[in-house]
Amino acid sequence: MITGSLVALITPMKLDGTIDKQKLDELVEFHISAGTHGIVAVGTTGESATLTYDEHADVIRQVVEKVNGRVPVIAGTGANSTHEAIDLTQRAKEAGADACLLVVPYYNRPTQEGLYQHFKAISEAVDIPQILYNVPGRTACDMLNATVIRLAELPNIVGIKDATGDLARAKELIESTPAEFAVYSGDDPTALGLMLLGGKGNISVTANIAPQQVAKVAELALQGDAEAAREIDAKISPLHKDLFVEPNPIPVKWAAAKMGLCEQSIRLPLTELSPEYHARVLDALKNAGVKD
């Protein structure tokens, strides 16, 4: 089972918008050196919505090769078309990913039965560990716990990234799914609480900027040391909030550029962080101790 701090990795780009392969390699090394327990490539934070299929597969392949087995690599392969999700998942398997992250289909708003059949089809088509991803604030479709519980019984479906921020709901999932089914947080502000309830880790945006701290919080939480975990989490909690002053990954890519981790480049229709938020995000970085 994959556990701990799993960074939802940004996809670094050059100023012309092309993927910066050198910076991508450097980011992988940055996270492994900092103690990050796993890397999620080409998820929402990795701008999966604006990468071409070939770029998507290339980033996954490059991350897998650079990691070289040192930590698990989870590939974002979700889509609102079942056959496209199957194709992306197959490509990720061929690239050597350890698992795939499959977002709830967006825009077309399927029923709960449609969600079940969508994920069932992927689980049957590609033999690789698959983690569901429920983020209704982005998809306009909420996968209810009852549907997740059904899916948890299927082969290859091994967990869920719950980005609802609802701890009562997460607690129900933890208690109602098999012991080998992992519930991960997809919401940095409530991630510590979810792990203390029995969640297995945090698929984190904040980890892009504060990997050591997020990893330590996860380690302590999974050991049951709530007091020590809360002490560290309190210091980075402004990041949990201020990295979402505009839609992710706008603030985190801006912050990463200010830290020298990548160029200041993001693909349309997303744009650079609005100037009115610059001082706020910089203050959060300084207060968290990740930037002078």
Query: What DSSP letter does each residue of 166-225 carry, written as one string?
Result: -HHHHHHHHHHS-TTSEEEE--HHHHHHHHHTT--EEEESGGGT-HHHHHHHHHHHHHT-
Q: Which residues pair with 159 in a beta bridge?
A: 131, 182
> Which token pair is 246?
């505009």
DSSP 80: S
Active site residue 171: no
Whether 236 has a binding-site annotation, put simply, is: no
From the candidates 66, 93, 116, 133, which is the catalytic residue? Answer: 133
Whether 131 has a binding-site annotation, put simply, is: no
Residue 40 carries which side chain, given as an amino acid letter?
V
Give the whole-angstrom CA distance, residue 282 versus residue 263. Answer: 16
Q: Are 241 and 189 in contact (CB under 8 A)?
A: yes
Work out the burial of residue 280: count CB atoms within 10 Å of its CB; fewer than 13 is exposed, 13-18 middle, 19 or more buried: middle
> Which token pair is 34?
């900092």
From the candidates 23, 93, 161, 200, which is the catalytic residue? Answer: 161
DSSP 275: G
Give the whole-angstrom CA distance, residue 82 versus residue 118. Answer: 6
Active site residue 106: no
**Residues designated as active site:** 133, 161
Which residue ranges are tagged as binding site?
A: 45, 203
User: What residues are designated binding site for pyruvate?
Assistant: 45, 203
